[in-house]
Structure formats: structure tokens, C-alpha cells
Structure 1
Amino acid sequence: MFERFTRRARAVVVQARDEADRLHQPRVGTEHLLLALLHDGQSLAATVLRDAGVRIDDLRSRVEQATGPGSRALDDADAAALREIGIDLAAVVARVEESFGPGALDDPPPAPRRWPWGRRYDGSRFSPRAKKVLELALREAVRLRHNHIGTEHILLGLLREGNGLAAVTLTRAGLDLVDLRRRVLDAVRTAARPAA
């Protein structure tokens, strides 16, 4: 399937992994794909999102708020239980990060697997929803009779999946997913018209 991805679409997949790493998230989710789509401001998907009023800084803030810092071994309930016995978890975390660096307590991303012939494969890092989005991107390209998968198809896949954090974040930002889908399809049709 990835052989059909355009250079920009492949860059989105790579950037999504980088976004997950930056947020100290062990898995690449739909939200990381969405942030990655906005990274290349010249792509069709980024143009449509920008024209719809999406700003990467606002979106990144919303995603960070929804996901919080990377996966931690202890959650709020644990912090409350420790507080009951006089241990301030925030202070302990601050001291550890002061000594060992920010994110020292975060789970490291899983190591990429190697195929027997030596190529790296880290598809296991992609959440089931993110994998579904990439599959839906292929379906959108086939439905539109395109022989490639571009950023616009990834965005259509995100919108079609509709239940991941990317879709929730866009909805909370005040966007109508049906209207956004229409905008993408209009932009695809406009881009396909021959220049006059």
C-alpha cells in the first residue's frame, strides 16, 4: 500500500511518528496524523484545514490537553493515594526530572522491529485507529479513482473514521466534519481541473 503514497503522504506518516515521540506517546494515533498533515503547509490537506480555520498551534494545544504528558506509571488516583500518606508525587517527579532530565519517567517508544531482510518496520507503533485511517485513505483514493494516496486522502480517511482523537479535536475546535469533507472533495476536484 505504501508504494502508492506520494512523497508528501509518506512524509506525513514519518512526521506522525515524530509528533508521537515529541508528545512522549508510545503509539501513533489519529491526532498525530492530523498534526502531521498540518506540518507541510503546502499540501492540499493543510491548505483545506487552514482555509477552514484550523491553526496548528491551537490544534497542538488541544491535542496536548487531551493526551496529557506521555504515559506515566502512576495516574491521578495513585497521586491522591500517595498524598494521603504524605508523599507529594509532583515533587518526586520534579526531583527525578531535575536529576535525569525531562520525561525520565515516561515509557520509551517501542523499538522498531526488523524484517529478516533488514528493513525496519515500526507499524506496531500505530494505533488500530491510525491504521484504520491509512486503510480508509486507500479506500478514498480508490473511490476517487486516483492511482496515488496523497495528504488529501489521509485527511478524508481521518474524517471518515470519525471517532478518533483527531475527529474529536476538530469537532471541539468548532468544525463540522461533513462540511470539512465537502471542502476536501471540492479542493480535490479543483486541483484536478486542467489549467485554462
Structure 2
Amino acid sequence: MFERFTGGARAVVAGAVDRAKETGADSISEEHMLLALLDQQGSRASFAVAALGLTDRRASVEASLAEARRRGGLTKADTDALAGIGIDVTEIVARVEGAHGEGVLSGERKDRRWRAGRPPLTRGAKTILEKSLRIAVGRGDRFIGDEHLLLAFTVTPGVVADVLTEHGATHETVTRALYGEEADGQAKAG
């Protein structure tokens, strides 16, 4: 699959590896990939990201991702469902952090040392790559670009899709930003 990646898509994956190393993560997540995509300049996806205002709200995107990590990766739908049966996730997080330290549910450990070689991709990151391939094939493209990765983020349920939606980047708005109004019904791959 990687042989079909454009330079922009390869840069996203390489940037995700760098972000994972910087944070001491033991694997590359879809969050690392999104943040690396937001770093891109001069690509089709970077123009869509700018058009949607994500570039200007990057700090808010990062804060939303950090808050989701603090909740142990629970999405807003997860926390709402738990609240519906009387479970206050905020209270649980506060109690756990009170007993074990701030950020304990995030899974981050600053004392990890980076192993030699390329870190593995999380299941979520692999899903993004697979969906980007499906989206490219569905559009009739013979390549996988960073725009396909961006679209894959919007159709893959989870924290990254929630954060993008919270910031106005749904599948429909991203499709319009990338391809215009006439392409609105195309490109959704499941």
C-alpha cells in the first residue's frame, strides 16, 4: 500500500513517527497521524484544513485530543452514554488521578525509552490507512494522498473523528473543501 502513497501522505506517516518519538509513545496512533497532517503545508489536505479553520484552531484541537487522552480515550459518545446510566466520567477521572497522579489514564509514560526500529502502528492508525485506501479506490484515484487520510479520519469512529467534528470538520465539510460542492455525495467509504 505504501508504494501508492504520495509524498504528502508519506510525510504524514513520517511526521507521525517523529511525534510518537517526541512524546515517548511506544506506538504510532491516529492522533499522531492527525497532528502530523496538520503540520503539512502546500498539499491538498493542508488547503482543506486551512479552509475549515483548523489551522487557526490547532491549539483547541490539541487540547481536545489531550482531554480525550486524559479520559482514557473515551469519546464524547462514550461519556454521554455512561452519563445516561449515571456514571460521571469526570468524577471518575478526578478520583483516579487523585489516587495515582495526573494523566494516569492517558497511557503516556514519560520514562519510556525509544526502541530501535520503527514503532508499530496502533489498530486505529492501521484502520485509518486502510480506509484511506478504500476512499482513494472509491474515488477512482490511483494514489493515496494526504487528502484521503484526512477523509479517513472523518469516517472512522473514535476520538479523532469526534475532535474533528467538534471543530467543524465532518466528512461532508472536508469533502466540500477538497472537491467542491458537486462532490458532496461522493467519496464516503465505509
Cα RMSD, aligned residues only: 3.3
Name the CA distance, whole Å, in 2 between partners of 1:23 and 1:186: 37
Deviation of 1:76 (Å): 5.8
Aligned letter for 2:52? Answer: A
Deviation of 1:139 (Å): 1.1
Size of the alignment, in residue pairs?
157
Q: TM-score, normalised by structure 2?
A: 0.68
Match of 2:137 in 1: 142
Deviation of 1:13 (Å): 0.4
Aligned letter for 1:44? Answer: R
**Superposition map of 1:83-102 within 5 A:** none
Match of 2:31 in 1: 31
Conserved 8 A contact 1:30-1:164: no
Name the CA distance, whole Å, in 2 between partners of 1:12 and 1:77: 37
Distance 1:177 1:140, change over 3 A: closer
Q: TM-score, normalised by structure 1?
A: 0.66
Decide which of 152, 156, 161 is 2:147's aligned counterpart: 152
Match of 2:14 in 1: 14
Instruction: Give unmatched runs, 5+ long, in structure 2.
Output: 71-92, 103-108, 184-190
Distance 1:106 1:44, change over 3 A: same
Match of 1:63 in 2: 65
Conserved 8 A contact 1:48-1:184: yes
Match of 1:194 in 2: none
Structure with higher Rg: it is: 1
Q: What whole-Å deviation, never above 9, does each CA across 1:36-89 have from its counterpart, x for those lacking one?
A: 111112111111011011123332232233324xxxxxx86565447xxxxxx5
Instruction: Give unmatched runs, 5+ long, in structure 1.
Output: 69-74, 83-88, 91-104, 113-119, 190-196
Decide which of 156, 159, 169 is 2:163's aligned counterpart: 169
Name the CA distance, whole Å, in 1 between partners of 2:135 and 2:168: 24
Name the CA distance, whole Å, in 1 between partners of 2:135 and 2:94: 41
Deviation of 1:137 (Å): 0.8
Conserved 8 A contact 1:137-1:157: yes
